[in-house]
Amino acid sequence: MSVMTVPPSRRASARRDRVGYLFVAPFLIVFVAMLVAPLAYAGYLSLFREQLIGGVRFAGLDNYIQALSDERLLDGVLRVSRFFLVQVPIMLGLALLFALALDSGAMWLSRVIRLGIFVPYAVPGVIAALMWSYLYGPQFGPITQLAEALGLPAPDLLSSDLMLGSVANIVTWEFTGYNMIILYAALRAIPTELYEAAAVDGAGAWRIAWSVKIPALRPALLMALIFSVIGSFQLFNEPALLQRLAPNVIDSAYTPNLYTYSLAFVSQDVNYAAAVSFLLGLVIVVVSYTVQLAVARRRR
Amino acid sequence: MTLPRKRWLAVGAAATLFLAGCAGGTTGGTTGGTDGGEGKPAAISQADIDKAMKTPTELTFWTWLPDIDKEVALFEKKYPAISVKVVNAGNSQAEYTKLRTALKAGSGAPDVVQLEYQHIPGFAITDSLLDLRPYGAEALKERFVDWAWGQVSGRNGEVWAIPQDTGPMGMLYRKDIFDKHGIQPPKTWDEFAAAARKLHAADPGVYLTNFPTNHNSIWTGLMWQAGVKPFQMKGADQVSVDVAGETSKKLASYWSGLVKEGVVSTDADFSDQWFQALNKGRYATWLTAAWGPLFLSTSAKETRGKWRVAPLPQWTAGEQKSGNWGGSTSAVVKMTKNPIAAAKFAEFLNTDPESARMLTTLQFLYPPTKALLSDPGFVEQKSDFYGGQQVNKVFADISGTVPTDFTWLPFMDQINNDWNETVGKSLADKTDTAAGLDKWQQTITTYAEKQGFKVAR
């Protein structure tokens, strides 16, 4: 019968395609409504300028040009970069150490310890920062009181010299456990045959850790690293809460995210805040990509 | 560093706003249009008011005062057709952020809202508040102290809100500490400085006072006392900013001098540290407002009976002047659909004798009404926490000494924030406060110009 021109198989596959879209639709709708549209709107906003006197006008890329030469923004980016370079290696190093120790099975009470290291991650960031701001307190905080009891000069942990370190300490305390769990899970996924083979070759525990476990952890470490890049550049909670204790040390542009927040809600400058957010997003993409590239190249 | 998603949420919220904005926010209300001469809207007739107050209506009222439903109940009893939904939309800044969002969206704003005096111009300039003159608000002028009424009045005589409470500034001091060191309550700032040095030398663990550097409320109050007029609207798009003039520099050298000598501390106030310090007697005075005494009696219970109240020290002996710190108002949002009921609610809440009294006893507000300030039942109350002193009386007298011509600009959030990073920082770091003032002047000017204002000094 030559009437049937469309091969049935193709028609069926076309129908199947349409059904496929139907299945993806719920996701697509949410994705577009919650991610693409707001992002596009923020991009749109960033091209305008609104004034109390004069209203809204199209500004083209003025906001971006202004942001690129905004010293307060650049200072903030440099500050979180420094934070990233110092804090992240310490945190991931500790996480790796704990994960290897737990995995080796040589640790007593390993369940209790594992939970203990992980618990800070479960404490809400706000509570954590409040707790630490009490511990850091320069007059009645326990650290100060201990130093005084020992007759030592009490360190001012909230001074401008030590503040970044104090923030790094809180973040390390909070996120070491989280990264440890990622690494530990990756370690459990390593096939035991590798260990057996290594043992047959005469490798000891240290050698196995160095030559088998750590190389196998590379993808997990890379993921933890990328998360840390994003986390560092988006630093907000901890400095925002410590700001109440040391308002003159942590100013409104201490981190880029704090600056964006203050631009939007204190200065009422949503347009400029949107432009700054976009630039910050760009910085994060570039740094993440660089990190990924650097790690991938070393593997080769 | 927990917020990878926070930014998306923020832009998501912004997008929602945009969509809502597109739907078009028609502002309800019966005002506008008609002109009562000199740009003043025509008065609403009593018949219209009577009719509106008998029409079943629901009002929404945003406030952060606890237990305010007791006063609201009085209103609902008098006007049974009207019910008021009380919403706590957060304390000051949190509430303003929500209000701005709702205003931009064109829906979701309350009918009546609690606003602090210094934030009225910011909402007035965006045309968000209802001028209450057509609703008979001008007749209320005589009931309030002049300087409070001045704060709610617009440049062209508009009435933007009804005053609710005030904070004329005074000095709370620890009588026990003063007695121990033979110090008399200082009457002038010179005596205050001398007492600060003497006290700290005698006991290094005690400071005569703490000068917080985390907000500029006290600084602004002291500028007010010293007669500085830092923020003035000179025209629709003209402002004058004068925060670094001669008198302000005098304030700067005075306070930075005491701070640099180390006889006055600079702890952040209302922090954990500060509460403990008050309880433990680290500060011998607290420069505060009329709402301070009750606040202190609940937060420094251990020091019961040791405190007394006095006016602020003066720059010139024999003078009596003060400034104001805090206090708020009830304003009607312009997009309300029930302007008459909303305006009458704002009026009732703050002027009805029973409701106004309740605000002082239940919410512990310090009243702006002349009636209460001269009411023996209010001013002659004795407080055990202050050794039986008539605290309200002291502040009622101070209230009469607040200069009446102090005003605000439409962007106090920015101004206040900039103070922390310029003047406040210089005090905390013990650097040049005069330079900090110049920088403050400069940052305010830059911001104002960016917002399209013409700035004069």
Residue B14 is nearest to which of A42, A171, A232, comparing CB atoms?
A: A42
User: How does DSSP classify residue A35?
Assistant: I
Selecting from B7, B411, B429 the residue whose C-beta is nearest the C-beta of A52 gives B411
Instruction: Provide the pLDDT confidence category of residue A142 given band limits of 50, 70 and 90.
Output: confident
Q: A59-63, B31-35, B282-286, B364-368: which has the minimum mean pLDDT?
A: B31-35
* Cross-chain Cβ contact B1/A244 below 8 Å: no
Q: What is the pLDDT of residue B36?
A: 42
Q: What is the ipTM of this complex?
A: 0.80
Tokens 């001008």 appear where? Answer: B138
Instruction: Check CB contact under 8 Å for A234 and B453.
Output: no
The whole-angstrom distance between B424's CA and the closest CA on chain A is 7
- DSSP structural state of residue B153: B
How far does Cα A202 stand from its chain's mean position? 40
Contact residues, chain A, for B265 at CB < 8 Å: none
Q: Is A195 helix (H, G, I), strand (E, B) or coil?
A: helix
Which residue of chain B has the CA closest to A272?
A: B450
Residue B109 contacts by C-beta under 8 Å, 6 or more apart in sequence?
B99, B102, B103, B333, B335, B336
Chain A residues near residue B279 by CB distance under 8 angstroms: none
| B447 neighbourhood in chain A, CB within 8 Å | 267
The number of C-alpha atoms within 13 Å of B180 and in the hemisphere containing its C-beta is 13
Q: Give the closest residue to A273 by CA, choosing from B26, B288, B94, B6.
A: B6
CB B14, CB A42: distance < 8 Å? yes
List the single residue in A with minimal CA-CA distance to B239: A53
Q: Are A259 and A253 in contact (CB under 8 A)?
A: yes
What is the distance between the alpha carbons of residues B309 and B395, in angstroms, rounded to a whole number?
9
10-39 of A, contacting B, C-beta below 8 A:
34-35, 37-39
Residues within 8 A of B (CB atoms), A 127-156 only: 133-134, 137-140
CB A133 within 8 A of CB A242: yes
Cα of A297 to nearest chain B Cα, Å: 27
Interchain CB distance below 8 Å, B268 and A247:
yes
Interchain CB distance below 8 Å, B8 and A34: yes
- Say yes or no for a CB contact (<8 Å) between B272 and A133: yes
Distance CA B148, CA B129 (A): 18
Report pLDDT for B153: 94
Contacts of B282 in chain A (CB under 8 A): 139
Q: Which pLDDT belongs to residue A6?
A: 53
Give pLDDT tens digits for B235-250. Answer: 889 999 999 999 999 9
The sign of the torsion formed by the CA atoms of A269, A275, A276, A280 equals positive
Give the confidence band of B19 by pLDDT, cuts at 50, 70, 90: very low
Choose the closest CB to A234 out of B4, B213, B411: B4
Q: Which helix (H) or strand (E) holds B331?
A: strand B328-332
Residue of B nearest to A167 (CA): B1
Q: Spell out which residues of chain B touch residue A160, defining contact as CB-CB under 8 Å.
A: 429
Binary contact (B12, A246; C-beta < 8 A): no
Condensed to tens digits (0 to 9), the pLDDT of residues B100-124 reads 999 989 999 999 999 999 999 999 9
Rg (CA), chain B: 23
Q: Which residue in this structure is represented by tokens 């949503």?
A: A270
Q: Identify whether the C-beta of residue A263 lies closer than 8 Å to the C-beta of residue A272.
A: yes
Report how many Cβ contacts below 8 Å link chain A to chain B.
128
Write down the pLDDT at residue A8.
58
CB contact under 8 A, B7 and A52: no
pLDDT of residue A16: 73
Reported as a single tens digit per residue, the pLDDT across B372-407 is: 999 999 999 999 999 999 999 999 999 999 999 899
